Structures are given as C-alpha cells and as structure tokens.
Amino acid sequence: MPGGRAANSVGRSDNRFGLAQGEIKGDERPAPITPCPVCNSRGYHGRIGLYELLTPGPQLKAALAKSQDAGQLTAIAKSEGFRPVQSEAVLTVARGLTSLDELKRAFTKR
C-alpha cells in the first residue's frame, strides 16, 4: 500500500520494461516521499502480488502442437493478450502503487 508516495515516475515514453505503446495512459508523477516510520521513508509499505497468467488461445495451441521456438510462442501469446509479469509490474509503478527502485530490486538477478 502507498504510504508517503515515491517520487519515481513512469510515462508514455518509458519502454524500458517492454510495455506496448499506449499501455500507460498518461505520465504519472506521484507526490514526493513523506518520511514516515511505517515505510522507512521509502513511500510504500506492505506487499503487492504480481501475477502472470497464460491462457492459450487457438493460435498458441496450434503453435505449441508444432513445437515452434520460444520467440514465436511469446509473440503469439502477446498477440492473444498475454502480458508478462514485468509489464504488469511497470503498470503498478504507473498507478503509483510501488516505485521503480523496488521494481528493479525485485527483478534483479541475485
């Protein structure tokens, strides 16, 4: 849950995480962080679940039956509405629910 709100922003031109054009409706500029003990002055506290769900459509089922390569399968899945978890994560930043710093921390290989 947002606490003091982080100063990070994601906008229409931010394509670092593979969002399709227009997935972010406008430039989001959350308010600056208000230091508080609940969030350790990060602007947020608690957890938000991010999920990735692939429901194969007819084209993807056919491609799977033909054992197409991963790149082709990914492209077909996206054309049928699949959104990778990284794209969903960026949308949570755009909605002001978390920060880019937290997103980078969560997706960095350890």
Q: Quote the tokens at residue 42.
A: 């990060």
Q: Is 22 exposed, middle or buried, given 0-12, 13-18 or 19+ CB atoms closer than 10 A?
A: exposed
pLDDT in tens, 52-89: 899 999 999 999 999 999 999 999 999 999 988 888 88
Cβ-Cβ contacts under 8 Å for 51 (sequence gap 6 or more): 85, 88
Give residue limits of the domains in the chain: 1-110
pLDDT tens by residue, 8-37: 455 555 555 555 555 555 555 555 667 777
Distance CA 51, CA 45 (A): 19
